[in-house]
Chain A
């Protein structure tokens, strides 16, 4: 009998160990997958795969940065002078224009003559920049100069200020506006949620009577259970128009709307955890303070809050974590303009919102797709840093002294 029980316990033990390791392994694999997909981005050429950019050989320009190419095709640069060349208006040539210039017959069977015609076009126009598939590259034509193209650069990714993943020929993957947008919205969310959350936590743990507490605490915890899309809906229906009207803004979908919604969403976390931390302050600590003639408020700020400091910090950090990772509500109310955030009253776009909005239209395995995965990695790293710091802070022993 005893033997049987031992075997049973052993089996349960093995199963628990197994399920634990399998879970950890699965999580690890997900992270690995995320990074593997994301890092692939830097193996892609700057422009669309299989395409080339060509200039006339007489053009002294030897190299263009991805951003310059984007500006040229957006007609923001119209003269070669601005791109380091000689005076001359840039002539944009996109591949499909060849079909306007030549009939299908002239291009020959299976477009066999197309490279030759392309070569002629480039040769005739000294200020041309042509964008076409690499397989039609007119080999051996000496007046055609192929621009050297590099793979996507890490510094362009992290330092770029433009996020235009579907721009042709040169998609722009600058994540700076997205990272800053995320931090920007989260920062203000925390600035709103922190004083409010701590205030409510202090009220609940120190001032409210038992009945109020029993009523309020579950209500606040209930807030944490509302789906974020409902928050987003509320924000879109109420907060966005309110901001637009009161601020006389062109659009109400702004960073402020996102911050407000995120603040409300982070509040339950902050309140619940901070309140728990304060209530965990031993009775003896409070009594010690009160017995020395401290008033209730003096006891709160000089005994309870310092004692609960690590728990309160952890609460705040986890609240920030929630704000940074939040997707749906932010996607709905921030307007999603991928621009560098300048004020609270302009649309911004966050990393999670970008992933959610764009992954559906990014072809699997493509550059855009990989860029989104890399965004996921960045988000993962940010939230990981936050979780680890929460861990470190809450483990920091209270008896290290203050």
Chain B
């Protein structure tokens, strides 16, 4: 589904990702863990080309999604991003109504069919386990929601355009424990329809939600394995040290 081949990534002179090759299967949850600044977020943002927004970056190697190199000249970035949705670290709803937030992706895709939009908004909000909480106040500002609700709204917003891959960049790090567990349940239920890649600081979270885990350190992929194996019996000593909390 997602495959990287010898990815090297530079911010100016800084070598942020070093020769990373990795494969992620469809309908799995892959967690990327590692200490701050290890490159896991940079790696995640390769898949929807969010790094393009930063000046002075450079990439070598190949990044394939469904067999297609997404950094090929012929790829249209906005089309790619419709296939690869993203949820950010901090909830970032638009200053619009709840309904319009979810409908945004459809509208920028020039979908004008009102009944279809209404239907998609409801489906997305249901998929994001938010529908029951907001169905009576769809016209209200998204800012009236709690932080956890806002984050689920952002997930619903990403789901509305039916991506096949969902990238999550520490989606629960700004949330309280109850909201966090809701997001984690949500990740479980979304797995059957989406391929999910999640960056997290929280190792318990990685252990709880993911099928496979990649451990990054200083721009290198130290270990990539089944989550169970990774947390019970890691192959590398560095991984062992990190997940047992000896550093990081």
Contact = CB atoms under 8 A, between A and B. Distances in A.
B81 A290 contact: yes
A291 B140 contact: no
A292 B50 contact: no
A321 B80 CA distance: 46
Nearest to B80: A293
A208 to B, nearest CB: 12
B95 A292 contact: no
Given A284-B88, A295-B108, A302-B108, A290 B53 contact: yes
B79 A402 contact: no
Nearest to B160: A292
A279 to B, nearest CB: 14
Contacts of A293: 78-79, 81-82, 105, 108-109, 161
Nearest to A299: B108
Interface residues of A, number: 24
B157 interface: yes
A294 to B, nearest CB: 4
A287 B53 contact: yes
B157 A401 contact: no
Contacts of B157: 288, 292
B30 to A, nearest CB: 18
Contacts, number: 85
Given A298-B108, A401-B97, A291 B158 contact: yes
A293 B50 CA distance: 11
Contact of B88 (A287, A294, A303, A400): A287
A134 B100 CA distance: 76
Interface string B140-151: 111110000000
Contact of A284 (B90, B104, B109, B144): B90
A292 B96 contact: no
B128 interface: no
A290 B82 CA distance: 9
Interface string A208-251: 00100000000000000000000000000000000000000000
Nearest to A282: B92
A282 B92 CA distance: 9
B209 interface: no
Given A285-B94, A399-B95, A291 B85 contact: yes
A45 interface: no
Contacts of B90: 284
A399 B53 contact: no
Enumerate the 3 nearest inter-chain pairs by beta-carbon distance, A residue then B residue, closest first: A401-B141, A293-B82, A399-B143
22 contacts: A286-B53, A287-B50, A287-B88, A288-B93, A288-B94, A290-B78, A291-B50, A291-B85, A291-B86, A291-B158, A292-B81, A293-B79, A293-B108, A293-B109, A298-B108, A302-B107, A306-B95, A399-B141, A401-B141, A402-B97, A402-B100, A402-B141
Interface of A: 210, 282, 284-295, 298, 302-303, 306-307, 398-402
Given A284-B88, A400-B141, A402-B100, 18 more contacts: A287-B50, A287-B53, A288-B92, A288-B94, A289-B104, A291-B86, A292-B81, A292-B104, A293-B82, A293-B108, A294-B104, A294-B108, A306-B94, A306-B96, A401-B96, A401-B143, A402-B95, A402-B96
